[in-house]
Amino acid sequence: MRSHRRGSGRFTGPDRGGHFGPFGGKFVPETLMAALDELETAFHKARRDPAFHDTLNAYLRHYAGRPTPLYGATRLSRALGGLRIYLKREDLLHTGAHKINNTLGQALLAVRMGKRRLIAETGAGQHGVATATVAAHFGLQCDVFMGEKDTKRQALNVFRMQLLGARVIPVTSGTKTLKDACNEALRDWVTNVRTTYYCLGSVVGPHPYPLMVREFQSVIGKEARRQILQAEGRLPDALIACVGGGSNAMGLFHPFVKDRGVRMIGVEAGGTGLRPGEHAATLVKGTPGVLHGARSLVLQDRHGQILETRSIAAGLDYPGVGPEHAFYRQLGRARYAAVSDRLALEGCRLLARTEGIIPALEPAHAIGYLKQLANRLPKHSLVVLGLSGRGDKDVETIARALPDV
Ligand SMILES: *Cc1c(COP(=O)(O)O)cnc(C)c1O
């Protein structure tokens, strides 16, 4: 068995103020400081309470479908020639993606805090659906903020949320997309903080959200660590996952962060090219700035105006990224690459044809990167890929982009 050096406290952050090196923190109006403090206190109390973990674990198991399999994708591996790839099957979870890990944790926290109303922001609607799902399950009122443009592009998810009993509030400010929905959710929280819990969808936003969402998503990496040790008797050489806000990647990466021999690769949306407005590759192309309550890397112009983003994968289409990823990039602990729409579609088809699994377009970006990865790693390297979601939601988009399959 190969030994892996463990070490460096640098990766155990954030500090008490929520900083990961120069990134993170709380950049919010004074009126939200008290709400964030209340949330932080409740979270740390829950985190230390074995009863909270027992309850959450029971829901993850019996309601969401954990543990998810770690599947040795031998046909995919053979097609790529060289790597030995395992897939962490978050696509098999209830609601079709990893997002339920986080919304279950936060809903339980809301119930503990005595809040009767959940609010959430959503872009494509995936986090909105996962929030509406747990709100229904725990009998909470649920309002989801969604850019008006997105409500039209993602009408089916709007209906799903409504079917689950949530109200979808179209946001008409700015570009009428996800970043405007985030602003509106924060604004609502300021006004209704006594009764309302803000269920944020990724490892972004002000402290304690990046820490909290990481904790709830780390179940992915903890399971994968145990499963790969059982299957192979050693740790993987590399982890690879797609990065939108960064929650599924952080959930997979974090339990391995002190294992210095395990490489980490995050794959962002390269869209149609790497000029401004054509992509959503924040870690590859962003610059330091403040967005949605935290300092991180941001896609912005010289004047600090947020740039438009684009990606074939709606879940990656966001101009910010979690502060902990920005820190890992700075330290060189993780590496980040951009994969184009076209290459992601190829990845999608490759997994469908070799393994009989249609991935969501978000993790299809990670699959699309595997050929390049195979050229960079020694032959027979062991790789765990985070398959964050299933492709059902994307079939129409894929059909339009690949008319001749
Ligand atoms: C939302 C979503 C993502 C992107 O969000 P992260 O916070 O970066 O994980 C990735 N994959 C799927 C399937 C999603 O629904």
Concatenated DSSP letters of 131-200:
HHHHHHHHT-EEEEEEEHHHHHHTHHHHHHHHHTT-EEEEE-STTSSHHHHHHHHHHHHHHHTTTEEE--
Residue 6: what pLDDT? 57
Query: What is the rounded average pLDDT of the residues 83-111?
Result: 98
Cβ–ligand 1 contact at 244 (below 6 Å): yes
pTM equals 0.96
Residue 403: what pLDDT? 77
Return d(Cα 196, Cα 167) in angstroms, integer: 14
Q: Cα 318–218–22 angle (5° rounding)? A: 55
Q: Reply yes or no on whether the pLDDT at 3 is more than 60.
A: no
Return d(Cα 150, Cα 342) in angstroms, integer: 22
Return d(Cα 209, Cα 32) in angstroms, integer: 13
Residue 275 alpha carbon to ligand 1 centre in Å: 23
Tell me phi and psi for residue 30, to 5 degrees.
-50, -40
Residue 3 alpha carbon to ligand 1 centre in Å: 32
Query: What is the rounded average pLDDT of the residues 272-284?
Result: 96
Q: Which residue, 308, 302, 321, 301, is CA-closest to 271?
A: 308
Return d(Cα 229, Cα 214) in angstroms, integer: 22
Cα dihedral 180, 15, 50, 138, rounded to 10, equals -10
Q: Residue 2: which pLDDT band, with cuts at 50, 70 and 90?
A: very low
Crossing angle (nearest 10°) for helices 99-112 and 126-138: 40
Cβ–ligand 1 contact at 322 (below 6 Å): no
Ligand 1 mutation pick, 87, 91, 99, 146, max ligand atoms within 8 A of CB: 99
Q: Average per-residue pLDDT in the chain? A: 95
Cβ–ligand 1 contact at 315 (below 6 Å): yes
Return d(Cα 195, Cα 24) in angstroms, integer: 26
Q: Provide Rg for the chain, Cα atoms.
A: 20
Q: Residue 124: which pLDDT band, with cuts at 50, 70 and 90?
A: confident
Residue 139's CB is within 10 A of a number of other CB atoms, namely 9
Which residues have CB under 8 Å from 281's CB, separation 6+?
268, 269, 270, 271, 274, 336, 338
How far, rounded to the nearest angstrom, does the alpha carbon of residue 102 sit from its chain's CA centroid?
9
Q: Residue 1: which pLDDT band, with cuts at 50, 70 and 90?
A: very low
